[in-house]
Structure 1
Amino acid sequence: MYDRILLPTDGSEEATAVADVALEIAAAHDAAVHVLNVADTTRDSVTNVRGQIVDALVEEGERIVDDVGEQARNWGVTVQTAVLQGDPSPTIVDYAAEYDIDLVVMPTRGRRGLERVLLGSVTERVIASAPVPVLVCNPGSEFAFTYPSERVLVPTDGSDAANRALSAGIDVADATGATLHLLTVAETASLGPDVRSASTTERLTETAEETIEDARTRAADAGVDSLETAVRQGQPYQEIRSFIDDEDIDLVVLGTGEASDFGRFLWGGVTSKLVRSSPIPVLMARKRAR
């Protein structure tokens, strides 16, 4: 499933924790790991001075990737390291394209702005424009990682983004033998008391059942052996988080919108909340995983 995995790192605790995730996946697939540090030479403090500051950034980057490289060799994983100068997010995306990377693994936050989560970060911009899936990890106190995945969740609403997620989820289930869980939430929580009638709830539930049946048929036709479906009523984010706990899910697969509407799609709702807070890895798919 994966031959080349990209691990961008800034040497932060979060990036170091996520390194083990990338290396475990690489070891399972006999994949090579590309460890990349980007010396951010776009900052004012750097562009105004250059010289020794740039040298110091590159020197620090070499130390960071060497440390991860040694960690990779301890896993028995083939590793390639690089330190590049530039703007981190486009540099990471360009590297992924140039080296035909299959998967990018990143934390939700890193050294710059530890108290800030994904919004506005390098990870957000990589998700928005990377040509391949991005596995996002939030290595906090509740973070848990299992590989190969045993129970994969694809929440779906029938949208194009959800269909991209379904394609990626099918690929994961096929490669790992995981049970693929498909979930649709009939969003009854947003209904006001004056419209929350039995007939309205029934209509929303019927629509959700049609959506989940379409997804189930697609997954079954793709050859997924172990498949579970569910329809719940309520607030989508809460129901998905509850489902993760109830079913002991170990990977969530989500799809992004197109580049033009990514900000509106991702940060306006459920996906944003899940990526920020999920206690398990989230695989973000812009197109079909290779």
Structure 2
Amino acid sequence: MMIRRTLIPLDGSELAEQVIPHLLRFITPDQTELLLMTALSSTSRSLDEVEDTPGLPTSKQTVVSKEDKARKQLYDITQKLNQIGFSVMDRLLSGMPAESILRLAEETFVDLIAMSTHGRTGLGRALLGSVADEVVCSARPPVFLAPAAIAVKSSSVPRTILLPLDGTPLAEAAIPIARQFAQNTGATISLIRVVRPNHPGYEQPDEQVSAGEQSVAHQAISYLERIQLQLQLANVFSHYQVASGDPIEAIIRTMHMEDSDLVVMSTHGRSGVERIIHGSVTRQIIGNTTCPLLLVRGVVPVEVYESSDDRVSAASFC
């Protein structure tokens, strides 16, 4: 999967810009063009902000419209990105942010949407919360999310991309873009599969539990070795681990232990005997992440999961 065009929604705030340095660690000017956009609702377009002009008496004030502020941000960022070699386009739109982002993404055939995920915007709206949530759940392209609270890694070259899998086609939808990012940067892909040997509330003798755990673990290892071979054929180095317990806890623990540069995950579907609820997963991952997330929408017919191994789980959104 090639990332030829990336959409970056902005809102006039510095917080919204913070996704850019995170994103630039994974893309290059020769492969990707950038599309910056800001969406102003009809009410915000008509409102003006009054700002004191430095060096002038406080009684003299300059009325700066939010549209002017948004245009200045788009211009300034475009100039900075042009200086490091990126081809950049920009759009200033009228409309609700989430709807505008999704519509522009479809109209311009973008391959990736990159957004910051925390903070109230300078234009008076929260960019993350309802907006990012709607974009993640509805966008066709993958969504690169960078929580504003995390710092950009000191190393300019990413080293590790964490890729949780559960053996289903849904989760495997994340493999192509993880592979592409690894090829772009030389990063290692860290594969993880989390197993849950037993149904909740189902009790077995200790010796049977142990045998069941071994069987599930062996299946998981065989599966990850197959994925590892596929990555090797694409000249991508990888390693794997099979963890036991809660998928979210295992992902967060591995992310911290490996100091991951990026987590790539599928965003839809079922996992084993339970469906992991979008809201709780988002809160736990974003609330504990030390790196950006790349969320890939996987669409698989429901019947695919009817015969899946219900003892294996992975995290999914929406």
TM range (shorter): 0.7 to 0.9
Match of 1:186 in 2: 195
User: What SS does the aligned partner of 2:40 have?
Assistant: strand
Match of 1:39 in 2: 40
Alignment gaps of 5+ in structure 2: 49-63, 270-274, 300-318
Match of 1:261 in 2: none
- 1:29 Cα deviation after fit: 4.4
Does residue 104 of structure 1 match 2:105? no
**1:109/1:123 contact within 8 Å kept:** no
- In the superposition, the TM-score normalised over structure 2's length comes to 0.73
- In the superposition, the TM-score normalised over structure 1's length comes to 0.79
Q: 1:212 to 1:134 in 2, by over 3 A?
A: farther
C-alpha RMSD of matched pairs (Å) = 3.4
Structure-1 separation of matches of 2:278 and 2:70: 31
Match of 1:256 in 2: 267
User: What SS does the aligned partner of 1:109 have?
Assistant: coil
Match of 1:242 in 2: 253
Q: 1:86 to 1:243 in 2, by over 3 A?
A: same
Match of 2:10 in 1: 9
Residue 22 of structure 1 aligns with an amino acid whose one-letter code is L
Does residue 89 of structure 1 match 2:87? no
Alignment gaps of 5+ in structure 1: 259-263
Match of 2:173 in 1: 164
- 1:180 Cα deviation after fit: 1.6
Q: How many residues align?
A: 275
Match of 2:243 in 1: 232
Match of 1:22 in 2: 23
Q: 1:139 to 1:188 in 2, by over 3 A?
A: farther
Residue 171 of structure 2 aligns with an amino acid whose one-letter code is A
Structure-1 separation of matches of 2:205 and 2:22: 44
Match of 1:122 in 2: 131
Q: Which moved more, 1:191-200 or 1:277-286?
A: 191-200
Residue 215 of structure 2 aligns with an amino acid whose one-letter code is E
Residue 76 of structure 2 aligns with an amino acid whose one-letter code is D
User: What SS does the aligned partner of 1:97 have?
Assistant: helix
- Greater Rg over alpha carbons, structure: 2
Residue 122 of structure 1 aligns with an amino acid whose one-letter code is V
Residue 128 of structure 1 aligns with an amino acid whose one-letter code is C
Identity of aligned residues (%): 26
User: What SS does the aligned partner of 2:141 have?
Assistant: coil
- 1:3 Cα deviation after fit: 2.0
**1:12/1:110 contact within 8 Å kept:** no
**2:29/2:85 contact within 8 Å kept:** no
Specify which structure has the higher proportion of helix. Answer: 1
